[in-house]
Amino acid sequence: MRQENELARLASRYVDGTITGPELAELERRVLVEDGAAERLSEWCLMHRQIVDILSEDRLHDLIDQMLVGRPGPPRGVFSEVNQRRSRPKTRPGINSRYLRIRAMWPAGLAVAAGVAGLALFFWWRPTLLRVNPLAAPAFANQPNESAAAGAEGRAAVVASLTQLIDASWRSPEAALEQGQLIAAGGRVQLASGRAKVTFDCGAEVVLLGPCDFELQSSMVAILHSGRLTADVPRRAFGFGVLCPGVDLVDLGTSFGVNVEPHGETELHVFKGEVLCSPNQPRLPGAQSLIHVVENEAKHFSRDGSDSSVGDIAMDVDQFESLLALRRSATTAPAGLASQRLALWLAADRAVVTDTEGRVINWPDLLYGDNSAAEDALQPDPDARPQLAIDAINGLPAVRFDGDSDFLLTTPLETTDDQTVVFVCQFTASALDDARTWGGQIINYDGPPSRYLSDTLEPGVLQIGEPLLEADFRPTLLTSQVFAGFVGATTVEAGRVDGLEIGVGRPTLVAYTYNYGAQKSELRINGELVGTARAFAPQGITSRKIIGRHAWMQLFFHGDLAEMLIYNEALPSGQLRATSQYLADKYAIELHASP
């Protein structure tokens, strides 16, 4: 009984994120040696995840309840994280039958979802193993708005990235932000003129037009005090909210535009999907309390939020045209390029943003096919920016990593257990330097805040680059794998395939397929199958992907990267051949057919 109580104590501290290093080692020892310990820990983590889901559901219910009854004051407490939550009202005047039907379906659906999420999320719920990589620190250094709730290590919680600026001028010198900068909770974007794109960690993309005043409350909530914006919200950011002077807007999977005039009048224009609206003043019994605005509809809301001030208006997409244009998409459909399940597309010949010295600030994710949300690759620190080489690979540009300090980091990108990664690269001469550090990484799925994997009870980390262990290292040898942690002192690597030493100055097409469903991985170099392995570890997770460097070790890529595509599936052979042929034709690379 004493041992059982001790396991329960360690498990409780583990899921609460308060476990110490020695306690974690003891918990891992028990899981490995005690009969049934792993199963009991799994059940404990699942229960914890379900409780988190229930609390999240309760917050959502609170939100809708408050929207239904209205509020006498500004709507700032609805979405914001505060210490004292408002009590749920006992009565709900103005509830309509549509809401009751929707609400009645939540408990059963969310209970099922919580169970599934618990089983899946157990594999990554390791809060004590999260850390902020020291090399990411410069992104925070010049933030003017870090006074909001502090996160780990006393640092303000990051909720979004400033992914693009066009002709931006600021309301004051103190309000100025840098492209690529990470924005903490409580931060503001205050443009005098120009445009800015903010990508929230939840995946929502907001494009702003100056003059504007935009405040970030959390990764799911923002306040538009004044100005104009468009928002594109992927499925994983369902429930993203924008608060305006006279109305709260809650996304239901949409693309929409909002215009808040200086005196507080608000217009909502829904381009796609649906938005729930709640004017923020008290409602009279029987009055319409929750307004659904669907595709190709527009509404006007006055600052006072009264029923008489809510009205239909004509759709006006033109006023948002310059904002919609800022979301980058492929201008033409590339012949042969697979579009289904595309998650990331970076091409060095399209819209790369550089500083005055030609160093890359933003490598935009191109929207094409199923890739409808842009997870740009960024570097706010000038000293860590790779160079855009104009004539790098057969006359086409590439992003050049110096092998010393350069890397890029995407905004959080959702990837699945099955993956296909295809890219065009070449190593540069510095890769053969005898004094260099081994193990340069081209792509790693464990971008900061990085996870330390100490067992196999969580998703693995896809890695492509040179071998990470000094004993295995040979310059320019390409290795692909999913690192799944350790068992004792043994490294667990799923789907590891060691390829070829490709040498320097040789444009190379690399394609790695990790098929967890079929338990098989394949590595192809210039179309030739160089090896297969068993893909036995799951790896689905939403994380920042780091390009040009290992996640938490300073192992940097020496070379050029011209184009990269990530797919959330193991591409069928025909689609992989067509995609490879598209890149081979573009970069004049000769393919060697494999069966």
**DSSP letters for 349-376:** TS--EE-TTSBEEEEPPPBBTTB-S---
User: Quick one: tokens of 478?
Assistant: 């390409």
Q: Which of 257, 268, 252, 266 is nearest to 305 (CA)?
A: 266
- The pLDDT assigned to 449 comes to 77
User: Quick one: tokens of 3?
Assistant: 């041992």
In the block, residue with structure tokens 């690759």: 377
The tally of CA atoms less than 13 A away on the side-chain side of residue 455 is 15
- The highest-level CATH class for domain 132-324 is mainly beta
Distance of CA 571 to the CA centre of its chain: 22
Q: State the pLDDT confidence band at 140, using cuts at 50, 70 and 90.
A: very low
- Report whether 299 contacts 277 (CB < 8 A): yes
Angle at 457 between CA 495 and CA 118, to 5 degrees: 120
In the block, residue with structure tokens 């469903």: 517
- Average pLDDT score over residue span 82-109: 32
- Average pLDDT score over residue span 144-155: 36
Distance CA 387, CA 399 (A): 6
Is residue 289 scored above 90 in pLDDT? no
Is residue 149 scored above 60 in pLDDT? no
Render pLDDT for 482-541 as a digit per residue (tens, 0 to 9).
999 888 878 899 999 999 899 999 999 999 999 999 999 999 999 999 999 999 999 999
- Average pLDDT score over residue span 282-290: 58
- The pLDDT assigned to 3 comes to 67
- Helices 37-69 and 21-33: crossing angle in degrees, nearest 10, is 120
The secondary element (H helix, E strand) that includes residue 215 is strand 205-216
SS3 103: helix
14-23, 223-232, 545-554, 571-580: least confidently modelled range: 14-23
Higher pLDDT: 443 or 181? It is: 443
Q: What are phi and psi of 494, to 5 degrees?
A: -95, 140
- Average pLDDT score over residue span 54-80: 43
Higher pLDDT: 200 or 487? It is: 200
Q: Which residues contact 401 (CB under 8 A, 6 or more apart)?
A: 386, 407, 548, 556, 557, 558, 559, 560, 561
52-61, 289-298, 428-437: least confidently modelled range: 52-61
- Domain 132-324 and domain 342-587, same fold? Reply is yes
Q: What are phi and psi of 110, to 5 degrees?
A: -70, -30
Q: State the pLDDT confidence band at 360, using cuts at 50, 70 and 90.
A: very high
Distance CA 525, CA 512 (A): 9
In the block, residue with structure tokens 């008290």: 282
Distance CA 462, CA 481 (A): 6
- Report whether 468 contacts 474 (CB < 8 A): no
SS3 322: helix
Distance CA 253, CA 273 (A): 6
- Report whether 330 contacts 367 (CB < 8 A): yes
Q: Which architecture characterizes domain 342-587 according to CATH? A: Sandwich (2.60)
Q: State the pLDDT confidence band at 336, using cuts at 50, 70 and 90.
A: confident
Is residue 130 scored above 80 in pLDDT? no
Q: Is 38 left (phi over 0), alpha (psi -120 to 50) or beta?
A: alpha
- Report whether 242 contacts 269 (CB < 8 A): no
Q: State the pLDDT confidence band at 456, using cuts at 50, 70 and 90.
A: low
Inter-CA distances, 541 with 104, 120, 124, 430, Å:
31, 10, 8, 34
- Report whether 580 contacts 524 (CB < 8 A): yes
Distance CA 545, CA 549 (A): 10
User: Quick one: tokens of 468?
Assistant: 């990470």
- The pLDDT assigned to 241 comes to 94
Distance CA 28, CA 389 (A): 47
Mean pLDDT over the full length of the chain: 80
| Residue ranges of E strands in 503-586 | 508-515, 520-525, 528-533, 541-543, 546-547, 558-567
Pairing of strands 528-533, 520-525: antiparallel
Q: Which residues contact 557 (CB under 8 A, 6 or more apart)?
A: 401, 403, 406, 407, 440, 441, 442, 465, 548, 549
Q: What are phi and psi of 567, to 5 degrees?
A: -115, 140
Q: State the pLDDT confidence band at 126, using cuts at 50, 70 and 90.
A: very low
- The pLDDT assigned to 35 comes to 76
- Report whether 483 contacts 492 (CB < 8 A): yes
Q: Domain limits of the chain? A: 2-127, 132-324, 342-587
Render pLDDT for 463-491 as a digit per residue (tens, 0 to 9).
999 998 888 889 999 999 999 988 887 88
CB atoms within 10 A of CB 25: 12
